[in-house]
Amino acid sequence: MLNGKRIAVVLPAYNAEKTLEATVRELPDLVDVCILVDDHSSDRTVEIARRLGLQYYVHDRNYGYGRNQQTCYREALAAGADVVIMVHPDYQYTPLLTTAMASMIVYGVYDVVLGSRIIGGGTLRGGMPLYKYIANRLLTAFENLFLRIKLSEYHTGYRAFSREVLMKLPLLENSDDFVFDNQMLAQCVHFGFRIGELSCPTKYFEEASSINFRRSVKYGLGVVATTLQFALQKAGLAHFRIFSLQGRTLERRYYESGVTNRPGA
């Protein structure tokens, strides 16, 4: 709890057995509820989540990173969260910054907060592959041009959202794949939410999850497509459901099945 607001951390997990415990151990005491959603892992992720006493949910098959986030946010809202922070359980981002990220929202400074790997200038020293760094900078410049804001990066997986943001965005119109992250930020800009950033050190190591070159290219093309859709929508030249108030939100039931384990806190 912070400033009377309930804080939730969500962990979108897939084969995170080697790093999950280290991630959870660093979460600060202000976190009221920690929710893990397992996207049908083949390792001991769920067993470890159970041992750590996490609230956890298990998909009945591998739906993808985007769908995992949908479940994360839906369950966090159901748990009464006022602020929801997504922390990857691969220990690539330090969980110690959740206090700072939550405070920027609960005190009304921002609606969305991103943990930026770029601001501190240590991205390459942290192990980010050079081709990913270059792609990050080029895509970010492209997006800043068309979205008409100025962020240091759009591609971090360390994010905090207010309850209002998660309830208003038509998240169920987004991709089940990695481009979900980018679509979500474009939606935040489109609907006028305030986005802040703070510097976040990151580390790349063998156990940390990272998409391969082929999927990186697919993600990059998805980013370009999302950015152009945003521009066309703003210009009134096209209409896309991901930017529509009539799009499906988390308030509407979207899971008739798919979550096979729904234990209590």
**Per-residue pLDDT, 256:** 41
**Per-residue pLDDT, 212:** 81
* Per-block mean pLDDT, blocks of 10 residues, the chain (265 long): 96 96 96 98 97 97 97 96 97 95 98 94 82 93 97 96 97 97 98 97 72 88 98 97 94 50 45
The residue extents of the domains of the chain are 7-249
CA distances, 221 to each of 29, 67, 114, 258 (Å): 40, 19, 22, 29
**Per-residue pLDDT, 182:** 97
Q: In what order do the strands lie in the sheet with 7-13?
A: 195-199, 112-116, 159-162, 83-86, 7-13, 33-38, 55-59, 259-261
**Per-residue pLDDT, 221:** 97
Which residues is 160 bridged to in the sheet?
85, 113
Q: Is 241 helix (H, G, I), strand (E, B) or coil?
A: helix
Take residue 57 and report the two structure tokens written for it: 């949910």
CA distances, 56 to each of 21, 75, 260 (Å): 14, 10, 11
The answer to whether domain 7-249 has CATH 3.90.550.10 is yes
- The bridge status of strand 33-38 relative to strand 55-59 is parallel
Which residues is 85 bridged to in the sheet?
9, 160
Helix, strand, coil percent values for the chain (each to nearest 5): 40, 15, 45
Burial label for 21, CB within 10 Å (0-12, 13-18, 19+), is middle
Answer yes or no: are the C-beta atoms of 86 and 203 closer than 8 Å. no
Take residue 2 and report the two structure tokens written for it: 């912070």
The Cα 16–Cα 45 span in angstroms is 6
State pTM to two decimals: 0.92
The Cα 259–Cα 218 span in angstroms is 27
